Structure 1
Amino acid sequence: MIPRATLTLTVAAHAQLLAHLFPGDGKEAAAILICTRVPGPRLRILVRDVIEVPHEACTNRTDRTLAWPGSYVEQAIDVAERDRHGILLLHSHPGGYAAFSDTDDESDRSIMPCIFDAFEGLHGSAVMLPNGCIFARLYDQHGSHTPVDMVSIAGDDIRYWWRDDLLNSAQRPMAFTSGMTSELSRLTACIIGVSGTGSPAAEQVCRLGFGRVIGIDFDRMERKNLNRILNTTLADAVAGRSKVVTFSERANQYREAPYFEGVDANVMTRGAVLAAAQADVIFCCVDSLRGRMVADRIAAAFLLPLIDIGVAIPTRKMGDGVAIAEVCGRIDYVFPGGSSLRDRSVYTPETLLAESLAEVDPAAHAEQVKAGYIQGLPEQAPSVIALNMRASSAGVLEFIARAYPYRHEPNGLYARTDFMLAENIQEFTAEDAFKTKPTSLLASGAAEPLLGLPALSTEGV
């Protein structure tokens, strides 16, 4: 079952909390989480800020008890109320007790009404265990509470902690097993660009068993697409049908109940962005720099792991003609708080401007599109499905490697994978090879303007 409520935090915030809540003295400790909320039918909560409660400020601090000054709650209210953020009161259970205790219940009954008296919002409490697992619950203004079904972090590895399986939280499912399939059935994947590279990626995540798949694409089918977009027919091309709607209809025939949601829209639209924000992982399979820029911002704002997949076939002059110089693929894995696609120069302000200018000039843009996959060669229906499937498979395997680690070396060594088929070379770049620049977008959620882009603000809706 897809979780109804989830909590997500960055790997840096998780490491900070683990160090503060378990200082090595075997006693309970506390912190307060300031959280944003993702709009939409699924309740996704994002940790925006962490307020540590100093150990020396606490009283009655033992391995099972803790009392801390109300001034820190007041400080959290001052921070959260400005932007109507939520407050989660977090403490540790050094003994590993994987449930809320009677003492925890009594404490919440005392403090939660005070927080709700200050302002209504998404408030609750949480516990961290020595193994890093977090479980949480949310309150309403009447004092009733509901559990957070899943807590996740995405760093070099991706971790999920399920409320209904806390006793086994340290044991991750093994890659390529039924245990992996079972967990994937509870997760949501988003494919941005369901075309040449995106349709094989979407096909794989569907067959892997993701419980829900969101596809985003605004383009229409043409005859030249039929040799590389899966699940399409000549009738689809003749009718000029939506690529993503067509894929959705076919994919939803795989199972008894519909699970694939096709969003027939440009990713540069507000609706598409908010649809993507409902996912647990994003696969970016677009051929535009602006599309990649938006995917990059979605990943940061909504704390989502992002896998960006790109292919290219550069050519070289040979006599009076051209020849293949290389057949390339690139897979970038980006996690919130790590290096972004911009940090890695996948796009820059200059290349975004150049792309925009090309679109303003219809003739120049037509030539750019005409070249297609094979640079320097006008080929309207390139036979690239084998390359696309090679790259998309590498992208999906990258997700599996992160969520269900199977590599012999640390995943941090594989932030980027480049393959060059003509030379039969595969190269890898580590996360620490890229310089990470801070971003105010991190865990900003749906703060206006959405993604920091005025074009996506509510004023434009």
Structure 2
Amino acid sequence: MKPRVSLSLSGQQHATLKAHLFPGDGKEAAVILLCARICGDRLKLLVRDFVLVPHDACERWPDFLSWPGDSIEHALDLSEQDDLSIVLAHSHPGGLFEFSKADRESDSQVIPAIFAGRAARHLDQTWHGSAIMLEDGSMRANLYDKHHQCEPVDMIGVYGDDIVFFWNPDSFPGSAPTRPMAFTESMREELSRLSVCVVGVSGTGSIVAEQVARLGFGDVILVDHDRMAMKNLNRILNSTLSDAQAERLKVDVMCESIQAYREDVRIEAVPSKIDCVDAILKVAMADVVFCCVDSHIGRQICDLMASAFMQPLFDVGVTIPVRQCGPDQFAILDVCGRIDYVWPGGTTLADRGVFTPESVAAECLAEVDAAAHAERVKEGYMPGSHEEAPSVIALNMRAASACVMELVARAFPFRHDPNAQRARASFSLAACEEEFFSEAHWDKAKNALLARGTKWPLLGLPVFDK
């Protein structure tokens, strides 16, 4: 069973909320979450902003809280322009991980008032709700529709250096109060509730798709517009001669392969480039995204989606730079791989220089010029060599495995060192070296897209307007 309703917030947001809700005096405290909504085959709420209700403005006790109405009025004002959902959150210092009778009575009075305060010009369906947090940071929440009917938030995802999921025990009875241990059946069971998207299912992407499917993700979304060719057979997993001869879509080949060993998986093939509205809206439903493309445009779109949809993003790239040392003779300079982990609100791929406005513009220009674009594609894995079918599956395996292990290490921690030290991992097989970089290595630009959701134009790009 996958979550019908989820709430996403960044690790940074969660830490700020926790510090305010538990100031150290053992008394309840309050915050108000302002959330964008994504509606599709499930409902996702994304925390865009919040109001920290001043402690001295409340009547606070270890098991009771009364807060001023002007804080809610302020939240209504902030939410009005983009019709954000309001979630009233408070702490339970005593450790009760459920809504008390007083909580439910408070909701029955306040939630209808919040709906009544919504501007008449907003016609879309909306939800408001309430949430609680315990001192260890665990959270659960309820939502109410316009008829004030209550529905539990099944999963709350916190995405930072570590990835944490809080499961509603009413929706998932028997959920362990602690995080599952890596590489266990408990890990697989949790992954079965989650949705993963792999953008690009060629060299590294087919290997990533194979791994996430066998790890046990319940929903797998594959995005790629390209078709099989003979030159792909030496590096795309599960591809066959007949696939190449029939020029089958790569996503169809991978879907068929996964379904041959996973009867419990829900898999969706999206035969499209990622810079397409329909593809972007499909990816918006995923809990986790892997970017396995070899284009700057594709990486830019994935980077923007990670911010707008509050998704943890894992980006992988490999290259084998060469130099010409004589007529038709080349020498390898290095054999390189790079894995970047991006969490919403942290440094982006753009901040890290993985792509630049200039590189995206140049790529767009190359696609307009068919000859130039063909030349760029021909460069492929080995810039300078014009090798169309390089034997790089071993390199791809190394990089793709490191990329998927990055997810496992962050959601089910096992490393001796903090995950914060590994925002990027890069390796040189020629020099037998591996380097790691923390978030502090890059300057972080202001991120206006954070928790934008599916507001038009999508990703803030005019080209994706209605």
TM-score, normalised to structure 2's length? 0.96
* Counterpart for residue 102 of structure 1: 101
* Counterpart for residue 439 of structure 1: 447
Is 1:33 the equivalent of 2:33? yes
Question: What is the alpha-carbon distance in structure 2 between the residues aligned to residue 77 and residue 252 of structure 1?
Answer: 47
Is 1:7 the equivalent of 2:7? yes
Displacement of 1:360: 2.1
* Counterpart for residue 221 of structure 1: 228
Displacement of 1:168: 6.8
Is 1:295 the equivalent of 2:302? yes
Question: What is the alpha-carbon distance in structure 2 between the residues aligned to residue 241 and residue 213 of structure 1?
Answer: 19
- Structure 2 counterpart of 1:92, one-letter code: S
- Deviation per CA, 1:245-299: give whole Å up to 9, x if none: 2211221222224522111111001111111111111100001000000000000
Question: What is the alpha-carbon distance in structure 2 between the residues aligned to residue 343 and residue 169 of structure 1?
Answer: 37
Displacement of 1:141: 2.3
* Counterpart for residue 279 of structure 2: 272
Is 1:411 the equivalent of 2:419? yes
Question: What is the alpha-carbon distance in structure 1 between the residues aligned to residue 414 and residue 393 of structure 2?
Answer: 27
Map residues 15-54 of structure 1 onto 2, 5 A cutoff: 15-54=15-54
Displacement of 1:39: 2.7
- Structure 2 counterpart of 1:25, one-letter code: D
- Deviation per CA, 1:393-452: give whole Å up to 9, x if none: 000001001101111001111111111111111111111111111111000101111001
CA contact (8 A) 1:39 1:274 kept: no
Displacement of 1:144: 1.6
Q: CA RMSD in A?
A: 1.4
Is 1:253 the equivalent of 2:252? no
Map residues 155-170 of structure 1 onto 2, 5 A cutoff: 155-164=160-169
- Structure 2 counterpart of 1:349, one-letter code: P
- Deviation per CA, 1:173-206: give whole Å up to 9, x if none: 1111111111111111110001111000000000
* Counterpart for residue 147 of structure 1: 152
Is 1:330 the equivalent of 2:338? yes
- Structure 2 counterpart of 1:439, one-letter code: N
Instruction: Note closer, same or farther for the CA distance 1:169–1:82 as it changes in structure 2 (3 Å cut).
Output: farther
CA contact (8 A) 2:218 2:265 kept: no
The list of structure 1 runs, each at least 4 consecutive aligned residues, that deviate by more than 4 angstroms after superposition, is 165-170
Displacement of 1:143: 2.3
Instruction: Note closer, same or farther for the CA distance 1:238–1:166 as it changes in structure 2 (3 Å cut).
Output: closer
- Structure 2 counterpart of 1:155, one-letter code: G
Question: What is the alpha-carbon distance in structure 1 between the residues aligned to residue 97 and residue 174 of structure 2?
Answer: 7
1:202 aligns with one of 209, 227, 235: 209
1:346 aligns with one of 349, 354, 357: 354
Is 1:427 the equivalent of 2:420? no
CA contact (8 A) 1:206 1:251 kept: yes
Map residues 119-134 of structure 1 onto 2, 5 A cutoff: 119=118, 121-134=126-139
Question: What is the alpha-carbon distance in structure 1 between the residues aligned to residue 244 and residue 387 of structure 2?
Answer: 18
CA contact (8 A) 1:131 1:170 kept: no
* Counterpart for residue 186 of structure 1: 193
- Deviation per CA, 1:329-365: give whole Å up to 9, x if none: 1000111111100000000111111212222222222
Map residues 47-126 of structure 1 onto 2, 5 A cutoff: 47-59=47-59, 61-119=60-118, 121-126=126-131
Aligned-partner SS, 2:61: coil
CA contact (8 A) 2:218 2:264 kept: no
Question: What is the alpha-carbon distance in structure 2 between the residues aligned to residue 221 and residue 132 of structure 1?
Answer: 47
Question: What is the alpha-carbon distance in structure 2 between the residues aligned to residue 33 and residue 139 of structure 1?
Answer: 15
CA contact (8 A) 2:217 2:265 kept: no
Displacement of 1:105: 0.6
Displacement of 1:317: 2.6
- Structure 2 counterpart of 1:102, one-letter code: K
Is 1:361 the equivalent of 2:366? no
Aligned-partner SS, 1:197: helix
* Counterpart for residue 451 of structure 1: 459
Question: What is the alpha-carbon distance in structure 2 between the residues aligned to residue 124 and residue 265 of structure 1?
Answer: 36
1:174 aligns with one of 153, 171, 181: 181
Instruction: Note closer, same or farther for the CA distance 1:340–1:408 as it changes in structure 2 (3 Å cut).
Output: same
What 5-or-longer segments of structure 1 have no aligned partner?
none
Aligned pairs, number: 457
- Deviation per CA, 1:70-89: give whole Å up to 9, x if none: 11111111221221110101
Is 1:376 the equivalent of 2:384? yes
What 5-or-longer segments of structure 2 have no aligned partner?
119-124
Displacement of 1:169: 6.1
Question: What is the alpha-carbon distance in structure 2 between the residues aligned to residue 54 and residue 402 of structure 1?
Answer: 33
CA contact (8 A) 2:127 2:146 kept: no
Displacement of 1:166: 9.3
- Deviation per CA, 1:195-238: give whole Å up to 9, x if none: 11100000000000011111000111111111111122112111
Question: What is the alpha-carbon distance in structure 2 between the residues aligned to residue 134 and residue 258 of structure 1?
Answer: 28
CA contact (8 A) 1:161 1:169 kept: no
TM-score, normalised to structure 1's length? 0.97
Question: What is the alpha-carbon distance in structure 2 between the residues aligned to residue 68 and residue 416 of structure 1?
Answer: 43
- Structure 1 counterpart of 2:345, one-letter code: G
Question: What is the alpha-carbon distance in structure 2 between the residues aligned to residue 278 and residue 160 of structure 1?
Answer: 16
- Structure 1 counterpart of 2:288, one-letter code: V
Aligned-partner SS, 1:66: strand
- Structure 1 counterpart of 2:53, one-letter code: V
Instruction: Note closer, same or farther for the CA distance 1:199–1:367 as it changes in structure 2 (3 Å cut).
Output: same
- Structure 2 counterpart of 1:342, one-letter code: A
Moved more, 263-272 or 228-237: 228-237
Moved more, 100-109 or 12-21: 12-21
Question: What is the alpha-carbon distance in structure 2 between the residues aligned to residue 85 and residue 184 of structure 1?
Answer: 29
